[in-house]
């Protein structure tokens, strides 16, 4: 978990508004993300968790508000400035979102092709390094996404997100669809990579086990905004109906017990 010292804000969202037709998803949404933390973003269906991620990464243009990443306004800067900024983050979408016609290695190489003067042999070696870092065997590099299990595709997607040695990684439901053992292994991978690479992780999830196992802070989306941020202990004290049901229900108790068991047996 993070140190308790002064925290540098690497993502600052203020007064964000996202709207699709007459439907307002976000209104006056504020959020800070600190360097080196794993932030879990949760909320009920339709609260715009993935829309928020897409807004920060420039894939969704909001109606109003400001978004700064490393002090750069991603909504108003020139294209060249945004491109330089985008090299400092990586994104892993649900199920990896790999190109089906490319091998895993070729998928991981895609972001590297934007780097001038990077020879094909070096790209290949770097891709193999990233593939190894996420726990995939060397042989996976030659496989196509359709030849991989769901968990392996997610790891390949993570390898591609890490291709340019980013400072921030955005993960959209990384454990969705995985069995409990596979999800726990992926949680451990994210936590270890965050620590070893000093990554900031913006993690959209509904998985309570993930929140208990690896997240430093939690941001709850409700009522078209970030309703509350804080630790798991802070969430226990929030009286909002959705927050209370989510963090006091049977699944939350089971996740808490699972994490306590891991700590007691030395798995954490």
Domain range summary for the chain, segments of one domain joined by +: 9-88+166-264
Q: In CATH, what number does 9-88+166-264 get?
A: 3.40.50.300
Specify the higher pLDDT residue, 79 or 30.
30
Residue that is written with structure tokens 């299990």 in the block:
149
Which positions ≥6 away from 37 have C-beta within 8 Å? 2, 7, 200, 201, 216, 217
Look up the pTM and report it.
Answer: 0.91
Do the bridges between strand 64-69 and strand 9-20 make them parallel or antiparallel, or are there none, so unpaired?
antiparallel
3-state SS of the chain is CCCCCCCCEEEEEEEEEEEECCEEEEEEEEEEEECCCEEEEEECCCCCHHHHHHHHCCCCCCCEEEEEECCEECCCCCHHHHHHHHCCEEEECHHHCCCCCCCHHHHHHHHHHHCCCCCHHHHHHHHHHHHHHCCCCHHHHHCCHHHCCHHHHHHHHHHHHCCCCCCEEEEECCCCCCCHHHHHHHHHHHHHHHHHHCCEEEEECCCHHHHHHHCCEEEEEECCEEEEEECHHHHCCCCCHHHHHHHHCHHHHHHHHHHHHHHHCCCC
Q: What is the spatial order of strands in the sheet that 64-69 belongs to?
A: 23-34, 9-20, 64-69, 72-73
Least confident of 66-75, 92-101, 161-170, 174-183: 92-101
The pLDDT-based confidence of 86 (bands split at 50, 70, 90) is: confident
Is the pLDDT confidence value at 46 over 70? yes
**What is the mean predicted confidence (pLDDT) over 61-70?**
95
**What is the mean predicted confidence (pLDDT) over 173-186?**
93
Is the pLDDT confidence value at 52 over 90? yes
pLDDT of residue 77: 67
Residue 84: count of CB within 10 angstroms of its CB? 13
Is the pLDDT confidence value at 194 over 90? yes
**Per-residue tokens: 30:** 């504020």
Mean pLDDT of the chain: 91
The pLDDT-based confidence of 6 (bands split at 50, 70, 90) is: confident
Query: What percentage of the chain exceeds 90 in pLDDT?
Result: 78
Residue that is written with structure tokens 């892993």 in the block:
92
**What is the mean predicted confidence (pLDDT) over 59-75?**
93
Residue 137: count of CB within 10 angstroms of its CB? 10
- Cα separation, 166 vs 84, in Å, equals 11
**What is the mean predicted confidence (pLDDT) over 147-168?**
96
């Amino acid at each position: 978990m993070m140190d308790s010292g002064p925290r540098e804000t690497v993502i600052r969202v203020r007064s964000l508004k996202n709207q699709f037709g007459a439907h307002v998803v976000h209104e006056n949404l504020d959020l800070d993300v600190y360097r080196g933390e794993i932030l879990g973003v949760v909320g009920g269906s339709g609260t715009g968790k993935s829309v928020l991620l897409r807004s920060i990464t420039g894939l969704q243009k909001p109606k109003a508000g400001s978004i700064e990443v490393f002090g750069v306004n991603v909504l108003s800067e020139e294209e060249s400035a945004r491109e330089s900024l985008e090299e400092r983050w990586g994104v892993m979408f649900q199920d990896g979102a790999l190109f089906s016609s490319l091998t895993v290695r070729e998928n991981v190489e895609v972001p590297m092709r934007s780097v001038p003067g990077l020879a094909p042999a070096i790209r290949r070696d770097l891709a193999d390094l990233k593939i190894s870092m996420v726990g995939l065997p060397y042989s996976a590099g030659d496989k196509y996404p359709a030849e991989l299990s769901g968990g392996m595709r997610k790891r390949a997607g993570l390898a591609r997100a890490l291709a340019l040695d980013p400072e921030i990684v955005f993960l959209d439901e990384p454990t969705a669809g995985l069995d409990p053992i596979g999800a726990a292994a992926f949680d451990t991978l994210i936590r270890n990579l965050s620590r070893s690479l000093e990554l900031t992780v913006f993690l959209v999830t509904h998985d309570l086990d993930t929140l208990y196992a690896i997240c430093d802070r939690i941001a709850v989306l409700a009522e078209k905004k970030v309703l509350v941020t804080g630790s798991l202990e802070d969430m226990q004290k929030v009286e909002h109906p959705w927050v209370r049901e989510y963090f006091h229900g049977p699944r939350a108790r089971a996740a808490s017990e699972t994490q306590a068991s891991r700590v007691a047996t030395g798995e954490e």
